[in-house]
C-alpha cells in the first residue's frame, strides 16, 4: 500500500474520469443498489435491467464529471466529490437515509452538539477508506491532458458514446425504466453523488432567492375583543421526534405517560405532521396557510402565527433547548437553553426542564396582557436516544448506548427511545404544574405536539427525514396533547374527548391557538380549531 501511495501513475484525463465514475458507482452506492433490488428482486427476468442500471449510473456520473473537470479543476472537483460521497455513503448505508433538500436544510440548521451525536468510528472509517485514501491517490496521480483541440474532440466522442449507450440501454429495457422513473422516483434520492448534487443545487437556489424577498405581513387585523376580560396563559410545547404509537395515552402497552395520565390530559390519537424533519415541520406548524400553502423557500419571508399573536398585543416568548427555532421566532423574544451558563439543569447535556427555571419569573414580570410561551424540546432527537434523558429515567432496559442503531437490537433501541418519552412525560407534567399554580389568575392551557416522528428500524429505516410522499407513518404520526385549566369553563372538554380519534394535522395548530387566545382575525377558521365541537361548525 505504501508503494502505491508513493507512485505517481500516468493516466489520460478521460480514462481518469471514467475510472472515477466507475469507482463511485461500484463502491459508494450500496444503499442505492439495495433499495433498487428491494423493488426489482435479483431474479432471471430482472438481471439484465439491474446490470443496465449500474451502467447508466456510471455513464451519467461520467457525463457530469466531463462537464466540470478540466486541467485545473479536475483534482479539486474529484477530491471534493470523494470526500462528500464518503459521508453520504455512510449515512445512507447505516440509516437508509437520503440526502435531499430537507436533509441539507437540517444540516444547515444543526449545531455542534447534534453533529457530535452522529460521530462514530464507523463514520471515521468510511471517510478514511472512501474519502481520504482515494483522495490521496487522486492528488498524486499524473493526469495527462491532450492539447485543447484534441481534448475537446476526444471528450465529445466519449460523451457521445456514453450518451448513446445509455439511451440504447434505456430503450432495450424501456418497460423497466418507465416504472423506475414514474413509479419509484424515491430511488433516485439514494444515488451517490447524483442525489445530493441535485439537492444542493435546489437548496442553493432557494437560499439565493430567499435573500431577495421582503417580509410579507399577515394578520394585521388580529385583535382581542373587549368582551374578553380574562387573561390567557398558553404554553405550547414543540416536541422533537416523538411517535404517537409510543405514548401509553394512545394505547401503547408500555406505561410511558404515568404522570400525564394523572393530570387528566386530552390526547389525540390520529395526529399527523406537516413534514418529516425539524427544518420543515417547525416552520410549517406555525405557518398561516398550513401545509397546503407552505413553501420552505418563502417561509422565512412570510409572517407566522407568532407575528399574528404579536399584532394582537400578546406577550410572546420562545424558549429553545433544540438547535434553534428554524426562523419562526426571529421577531419575538427568544432564549436558547443549550448551554450550562443559561440552563440550570445540565449533566451530559442540558435538559428540557431547565427551560422552566425562569418561566414563573417571566409570567410575574408581565402583569398585563395575554401570554403565549413556546418550549422547543430536545425530546427524542436521535440517534443517541440514550442521551436524551437523565439516568433516573432509565426504567426500560437493556438500552442501546451507541449512535450506531443498526448494531443494537430492536428491543434496545425501543427501550432507549421509550425512556426519552418517559422524560418528556415528566417534563410536560412540570409544565402543567406551573400552569396549575397560575390557574387562578389566567385561563391556562398547555398544547403539546411533536414536530415529526421517527423510524426505529421498521422496513430497515432509521431516524427521519424521508420525503413526505414516501415517508412511512412512523415518521409522520405524532402525539398531540391538550391540558386545559379550570378557568377555561367555556370550553366543552367533553366534546374534545369525543374528537380524540378524529384525523388532525399540524394545520390545526394555527387556528387552535387563535381559539385559545380568543383572537379575532380574518385568518381564523373555526373548522380547523380543535376546541370547536363539530356541531358548532354548522
DSSP for 348-413, written as a single string:
SSB-GGGGGTTHHHHHHT--SS-EEEEEE--TT-SS-GGGSS-GGG--S-S---SS-GGGS-HHHH
135-153 per-position pLDDT tens digit: 999 999 999 988 888 878 8
With beta carbons less than 8 A apart as the criterion, state whether 471 and 414 touch.
no
* Strand, helix or coil for residue 82: helix
With beta carbons less than 8 A apart as the criterion, state whether 234 and 516 touch.
yes
Verify that 148 and 270 share a domain, yes or no.
no
CA torsion, points 463, 465, 470, 472, in degrees to nearest 10? 30
Verify that 35 and 153 share a domain, yes or no.
yes
Within 47-152, strands assigned E span 142-144
Of 210, 242, 275, which residue sits at a domain end? Answer: 210
Q: How far is CA 310 from CA 188, 285, 314, 493, in A?
A: 43, 17, 5, 28
- pLDDT attached to residue 210: 58
- pLDDT attached to residue 3: 55
Q: How far is CA 211 from CA 132, 203, 358, 403, in A?
A: 35, 13, 35, 36
Verify that 56 and 112 share a domain, yes or no.
yes
Distance CA 497, CA 516 (A): 17
Among the ranges given (65-79, 276-290, 523-537), the one the predictor scored with the smallest mean pLDDT: 523-537
Verify that 181 and 268 share a domain, yes or no.
no
Please tell me the total count of domains within the chain.
Answer: 2
Per-residue pLDDT at 509 exceeds 90:
yes
With beta carbons less than 8 A apart as the criterion, state whether 366 and 310 touch.
no
229-285 per-position pLDDT tens digit: 899 999 999 999 999 999 999 999 999 999 999 999 999 999 999 999 998 999 999
Verify that 32 and 75 share a domain, yes or no.
yes
Residue 226 within any structural domain of the chain: no
Calculate mean pLDDT across residues 442-454.
97
Q: Which residues pair with 482 in a beta bridge?
A: 266, 447
| Pairing verdict, β 266-272 and 477-484 | antiparallel
* Strand, helix or coil for residue 170: helix
Q: Which residues pair with 446 in a beta bridge?
A: 235, 483
Per-residue pLDDT at 201 exceeds 90:
no
Verify that 300 and 249 share a domain, yes or no.
yes
Closest CA to 509 of 491, 525, 493: 525
Per-residue pLDDT at 537 exceeds 70:
no
Closest CA to 110 of 287, 277, 230, 246: 277
Verify that 300 and 352 share a domain, yes or no.
yes
- pLDDT attached to residue 530: 93
Check which CATH number belongs to the domain holding 374 and give it: 3.40.720.10
Residues 6+ apart with CB under 8 A from 175: none
45-59 per-position pLDDT tens digit: 888 888 998 998 899
Confidence band for 535, pLDDT divided at 50, 70 and 90 = very low
Confidence band for 170, pLDDT divided at 50, 70 and 90 = confident
Verify that 238 and 204 share a domain, yes or no.
no
∠ at Cα 527 (522, 529), nearest 5°?
A: 85
CA torsion, points 109, 235, 394, 265, in degrees to nearest 10? -140
Residue 521 within any structural domain of the chain: yes
Verify that 198 and 238 share a domain, yes or no.
no
70-92 per-position pLDDT tens digit: 888 999 999 999 999 999 999 99
Verify that 313 and 462 share a domain, yes or no.
yes
- pLDDT attached to residue 208: 67
**Residue 317 lies in domain:** 232-537
Verify that 104 and 242 share a domain, yes or no.
no
Residue 224 within any structural domain of the chain: no
- pLDDT attached to residue 533: 57
Verify that 280 and 239 share a domain, yes or no.
yes
Per-residue pLDDT at 105 exceeds 90:
no
pTM over 0.85: no
Amino acid at each position: 500500500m505504501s508503494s502505491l501511495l508513493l507512485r505517481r501513475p500516468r493516466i489520460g484525463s478521460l480514462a481518469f474520469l471514467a475510472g472515477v465514475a466507475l469507482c463511485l458507482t461500484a463502491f459508494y452506492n450500496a444503499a442505492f443498489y439495495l433499495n433498487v433490488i428491494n423493488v426489482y428482486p435479483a431474479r432471471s427476468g430482472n438481471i439484465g435491467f439491474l446490470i443496465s442500471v449500474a451502467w447508466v449510473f456510471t455513464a451519467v456520473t461520467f457525463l457530469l464529471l466531463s462537464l466540470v473537470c478540466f486541467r485545473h479543476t479536475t483534482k479539486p472537483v474529484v477530491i471534493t466529490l470523494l470526500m462528500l460521497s464518503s459521508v453520504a455513503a455512510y449515512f445512507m448505508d447505516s440509516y437508509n437515509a437520503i440526502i435531499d433538500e430537507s436533509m441539507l436544510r437540517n444540516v444547515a440548521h444543526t449545531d455542534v452538539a447534534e453533529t457530535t451525536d452522529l460521530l462514530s468510528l464507523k463514520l471515521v472509517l468510511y471517510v478514511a477508506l472512501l474519502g481520504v485514501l482515494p483522495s490521496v491517490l487522486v492528488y498524486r496521480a499524473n493526469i495527462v491532458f491532450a492539447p485543447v483541440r484534441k481534448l475537446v474532440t476526444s471528450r465529445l466522442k466519449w460523451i457521445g458514446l456514453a450518451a448513446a449507450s445509455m439511451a440504447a440501454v434505456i430503450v432495450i429495457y424501456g418497460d423497466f425504466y418507465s416504472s423506475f422513473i414514474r413509479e419509484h422516483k424515491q430511488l433516485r434520492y439514494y444515488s451517490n453523488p447524483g442525489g445530493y448534487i441535485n439537492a444542493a443545487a435546489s437548496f442553493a437556489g432557494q437560499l439565493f432567492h430567499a435573500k431577495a424577498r421582503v417580509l410579507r405581513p399577515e394578520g394585521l387585523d388580529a385583535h382581542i375583543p373587549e368582551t374578553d376580560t380574562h387573561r390567557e396563559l398558553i404554553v405550547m410545547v414543540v416536541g422533537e421526534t416523538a411517535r404517537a404509537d409510543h405514548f401509553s395515552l394512545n394505547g401503547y402497552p408500555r406505561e410511558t405517560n404515568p404522570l400525564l395520565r394523572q393530570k387528566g390530559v386530552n390526547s389525540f390519537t390520529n395526529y399527523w405532521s406537516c413534514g418529516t424533519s425539524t427544518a420543515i415541520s417547525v416552520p410549517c406548524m406555525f405557518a398561516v396557510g398550513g401545509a397546503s400553502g407552505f413553501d420552505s423557500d418563502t417561509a422565512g419571508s412570510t409572517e407566522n402565527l407568532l407575528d399574528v399573536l404579536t399584532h394582537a398585543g400578546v406577550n410572546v416568548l420562545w424558549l429553545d433547548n433544540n438547535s434553534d427555532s428554524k426562523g419562526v421566532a426571529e421577531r419575538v423574544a427568544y432564549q436558547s437553553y443549550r448551554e450550562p451558563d443559561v440552563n440550570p439543569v445540565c449533566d451530559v447535556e442540558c435538559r428540557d426542564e431547565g427551560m422552566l427555571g425562569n418561566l414563573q419569573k417571566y409570567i410575574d414580570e408581565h402583569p398585563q396582557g395575554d401570554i403565549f410561551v413556546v418550549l422547543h424540546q430536545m425530546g427524542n432527537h436521535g440517534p443517541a436516544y440514550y442521551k436524551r434523558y437523565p439516568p433516573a429515567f432509565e426504567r426500560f432496559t437493556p438500552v442501546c448506548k451507541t449512535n450506531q442503531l443498526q448494531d443494537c437490537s430492536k428491543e434496545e433501541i425501543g427501550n432507549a427511545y421509550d425512556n426519552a418519552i418517559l422524560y418528556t412525560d415528566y417534563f410536560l407534567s412540570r409544565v402543567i404544574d406551573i400552569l396549575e399554580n397560575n390557574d387562578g389568575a389566567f385561563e391556562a392551557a398547555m398544547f403539546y405536539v411533536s414536530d415529526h416522528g421517527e423510524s426505529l428500524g421498521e422496513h430497515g429505516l432509521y431516524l427521519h427525514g424521508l420525503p413526505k410522499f414516501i415517508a412511512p407513518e412512523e415518521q409522520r404520526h405524532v402525539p398531540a396533547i391538550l391540558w386545559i385549566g379550570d378557568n377555561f369553563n367555556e370550553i366543552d372538554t367533553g366534546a374534545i374527548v369525543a374528537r380524540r380519534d378524529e384525523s388532525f394535522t399540524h394545520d390545526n395548530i394555527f387556528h387552535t391557538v387563535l381559539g385559545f387566545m380568543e383572537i379575532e382575525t380574518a385568518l381564523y377558521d373555526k373548522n380547523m380549531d380543535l376546541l370547536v365541537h363539530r356541531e358548532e361548525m354548522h
